Amino acid sequence: MPRKPPKGYFVQGHFVAYGSEEDAELKRAAKWDAERSKTDLKKQSAHLQTVGEQLLTLKAPLLQRLALPDALLDAIAQAKRIDDFEGRRRQLQYIGKLMRQLDEGQVTAIEAAVAEQHRGSAAETQRLHEAERWRERLLADDTALDAWRDVEPQADWQRLRALVRQARKDAEARPDAAPGQAQRQGRAYRELFQYVRAALDARADSPLA
């Protein structure tokens, strides 16, 4: 009797018999690729979910600049109004689903906007700390006024000196705080900080800065 041909399949013109070592290797590779694809999809989905949640923190000008689909914008606005934990969680999942409908360019633009806002927030925090240091320096040493000229050459010197003098007087007249309580500061102390911060912000926004 003629011998039956082996059963199998062709891969790129090459015959692979069922049950052979090559068949087993190809099946293992196919299974690995499938599992890897599922893992990659899960990672991508989780990433888009995170990016979608970050949209809730974007300031209005940045959000408007992105020109996102109305459905996504409505979902973001609704999520901001939800206080219930479970309801908010489900709404965020819905935002993640809408995120998967965006193309790669739109997702990249969102990530860039989030990074831009983060850089701005970091710079603002840095200026707040700088303003605090300048206030303490101005209160501690009269020569700090000369150094302040580098920051604000056209300063309102009369007002600045008045704020410094009044803040010092308030500090001298104020009783020491009780243990465990923060020292209460006067109005001039707070206004001095606002003055210094405004000058630092103006310098940062100047095209010559």
Mark whether 20 and 95 lie in a shared domain. yes
Mark whether 130 and 90 lie in a shared domain. no
Mark whether 13 and 42 lie in a shared domain. yes
Query: pTM of the entire structure?
Result: 0.48
Residues 154-175, mean pLDDT to the nearest whole number: 88
Query: In whole angstroms, what is the distance from residue 118 CA to residue 108 CA?
Result: 15
What pLDDT does residue 177 have?
47
Q: Determine the structural domain holding residue 18 and report its residue range.
A: 8-102
* Whether residue 136 has pLDDT greater than 90: yes
Residue 1 lies in a domain: no
Residue 110 lies in a domain: no
Mark whether 12 and 90 lie in a shared domain. yes
Residue 50 lies in a domain: yes
Mark whether 20 and 60 lie in a shared domain. yes
In the chain, the number of structural domains is: 2
Mark whether 17 and 89 lie in a shared domain. yes
Mark whether 130 and 196 lie in a shared domain. yes
Is residue 76 very low, low, confident or very high in pLDDT (cuts 50, 70, 90)?
A: very high
CATH (domain of 34) = 1.10.60.30
| pLDDT tens by residue, 145-159 | 999 998 899 999 999
